[in-house]
Amino acid sequence: MNTFKQHSVLPGFNLALGFTLLYLSLIVLIPLAAAFIRTAELTWPEFWATVTTPRVLASYRLTFGASFAAALTNALFGLLVAWVLVRYHFPGKRLVDALIDLPFALPTAVAGIALTALYAGNGWIGQLLEPLGIKVAFTPIGVYVALTFIGLPFVVRTVQPVLEDIETELEEAAAMLGANRLQTFLRIILPTIFPALMTGFALALARAIGEYGSVIFIAGNMPMISEITPLLIITKLEQYDYAGATAIAVVMLIISFVLLLIINLLQWWSRRRNALA
Amino acid sequence: MTTITISHPSKSQQAAITQEPAWVRWILIGIALAFLTLFLFVPLVSVFYEALKKGVDVYFAAITEPDALAAIKLTLTATAIAVPLNLVFGVAAAWAITKFEFRGKNVLITLIDLPFSVSPVVAGLIYVLVFGLQGWLGPWLAEHDLKVIFAVPGIVLATIFVTVPFIARELIPLMQAQGTEEEEAAVVLGANGWQTLWNITLPNIKWGLLYGIILCNARAMGEFGAVSVVSGHIRGSTNTLPLHVEILYNEYNFAAAFAVASLLALLALITLAIKTFVESKVTQQKHTTKLKENNHEH
């Protein structure tokens, strides 16, 4: 016990940690283990065949492609929004700042039907795009739009505090030494916020890959074309194909765990970079 | 600009050197606002527009019909169970993690965050694997005439799963910043653990706690994917508000779907308003903590 925990005068360690572990095990860890144990009932070739059918592979391509494009969009515009909110003043700034978190607070189903109504052929935005030959609703572009919406706050909220903490002295020094604003941004500011930017990107990507509610309304859900991986799990469940659903879920879980590991490493890097700065 | 005197830089010159020209600023602000308008504001406004398009009567009829009321009741029930449980969990986890030093702490913090990175659909599925008819406990539950999947307990469990981290992850950094000195003083002076928690710790973390509860509450009421897998979609009995929206929408009853959705959007806006208010309080609290630290040092 001595090597496990340092001595403290405060009481309640055993009770607090015991309850924490019990609760986590019952709610999170044992059910998650169920997915892996159920999959172990399949042989390796069976498992591999289930998770690599053409329809499943098409769903990975869509899920990862759209998630990556959405996270990239959010990295670019999220950085811009964070910059504008930290550095500039404009009317309504506080309101805009408060509304950034809307995608966190708005239930995904509500976002899903709202985006679908907007981008459908007769919707506010859809009727502007339709004459240009761009169809968004019920196509893979719709998936991208929904994933961009739900990932919007991540980059803004990870970059914003780092930008706020940057001391302007370095920028002043760079300007004194003859750098223009773009050079100062690329050489001084961007390296400082880069770990936070990457963290935000990874968080948005992780969220997008698992997303379901906002996507299914706008996607059209055509097999091989606009069907995301989480929907495929549900389809298999509805056909009572528990083994198939679980095998795909395990693939998604492994990807989530790898992303979680990367996010933790990025956050550690970000903290270290800021501590040094 | 060539007349900058380095020894006495005026306020405006100081600003100018680290600021972009006005036209660059306004273009950047313009692009940022255009992006936010397209992806945030227009979708939000459209929810209320579509909800009220067919008139106020249709709107109120949609949110007061029996199935909608049953959905509201179920959503409130699931939230009323999930949020307090995760509150107790959050305080216990934060107490263990921030007031003591032990091995494996970082692993524990990562495990608490785990539900955030699991797809909601997978979250629902794992409960089917445990409690469903084909699941580990399925046969036993069936023998005792208990139903978890396609019933209210499953919905509650799925809601708890997706909201586990919210309160814990708000409290851990806050309590870490506050340290253990005040609690140690209380214990040395003779207070027991519960008295210390109630009289010292909770008042110190009240705003952070409220912040976590609000976010947890919003997610609990709005969860869709996980609940959808375990619900069974039985109208009037296992339909939560977001699932009710889906059913109405799939029946092409758009006005009613958006009317119910507008209730959830309203909830989101209230959440954001309280959150913004509490955020300023949390910043204040962190600030006083810092001031206290500085006073100790001097």
Give the residue carrying structure tokens 């396609």.
Answer: B150
pLDDT on residue A3: 67
Q: For residue B188, list chain A residues with Cβ-Cβ distance below 8 A.
A: 9
Q: For residue A94, list chain B residues with Cβ-Cβ distance below 8 A.
A: 276
pLDDT on residue B5: 44
pLDDT digits 0-9 by tens, B208-225: 999 999 999 999 999 999
pLDDT digits 0-9 by tens, A214-268: 999 999 898 999 999 999 999 999 898 999 999 999 999 999 899 888 888 888 8
pLDDT band at residue A19 under the 50/70/90 scheme: very high
Give DSSP secondary structure letters for A217-238. HHH---TTTS--HHHHHHHHHH
- The answer, yes or no, to whether residue A174 has pLDDT greater than 90, is no
Give DSSP secondary structure letters for A32-86. HHHHHHHHTTS-HHHHHHHHTSHHHHHHHHHHHHHHHHHHHHHHHHHHHHHHHHH
Contacts of A182 (CB under 8 A, 6+ apart): none
Find the mean pLDDT for residues B278-288.
78
d(CA B178, CA B202) in angstroms, rounded, equals 12
pLDDT band at residue B294 under the 50/70/90 scheme: low
d(CA A76, CA A83) in angstroms, rounded, equals 11
Find the mean pLDDT for residues A153-181.
89
- Angle among Cα B284, B286, B289 to the nearest 5 degrees reads 110
Q: Hey, which residues does B102 pair with through a beta bridge?
A: A5
Phi, psi for A5 (deg, rounded to 5): -135, 135
pLDDT on residue B12: 46
Query: Distance from A239 to chain B by nearest Cα, in Å?
Result: 13
Find the mean pLDDT for residues B150-161.
95
pLDDT digits 0-9 by tens, B31-64: 999 999 999 999 999 999 999 999 999 999 999 9
- Angle among Cα A252, A257, A261 to the nearest 5 degrees reads 150
d(CA B78, CA B246) in angstroms, rounded, equals 18
d(CA A241, CA A161) in angstroms, rounded, equals 46
Report ipTM (2 d.p.).
Answer: 0.91
If we measure between CA atoms, which residue out of B217, B255, B261, B259 comes closest to residue B243?
A: B261
The mean predicted confidence, pLDDT, of chain B is 89
Q: Hey, which residues does A5 pair with through a beta bridge?
A: B102
Q: Pick the residue with more confidence: B293 or B94?
A: B94
Amino acid at B279: E
pLDDT on residue A277: 54
Phi, psi for A180 (deg, rounded to 5): -85, 175
Phi, psi for B102 (deg, rounded to 5): -150, 160
If we measure between CA atoms, which residue out of A154, A128, A137 comes closest to residue A73?
A: A154
pLDDT band at residue A180 under the 50/70/90 scheme: confident
Dihedral angle, C-alpha B204, B207, B211, B214, nearest 10 °:
110
pLDDT digits 0-9 by tens, B156-198: 999 999 999 999 999 999 999 888 999 999 999 999 999 999 9
Cβ distance of B120 and A264 shorter than 8 Å: no
The mean predicted confidence, pLDDT, of chain A is 92
Q: For residue A125, list chain B residues with Cβ-Cβ distance below 8 A.
A: 38, 42
Cβ distance of B126 and A35 shorter than 8 Å: yes
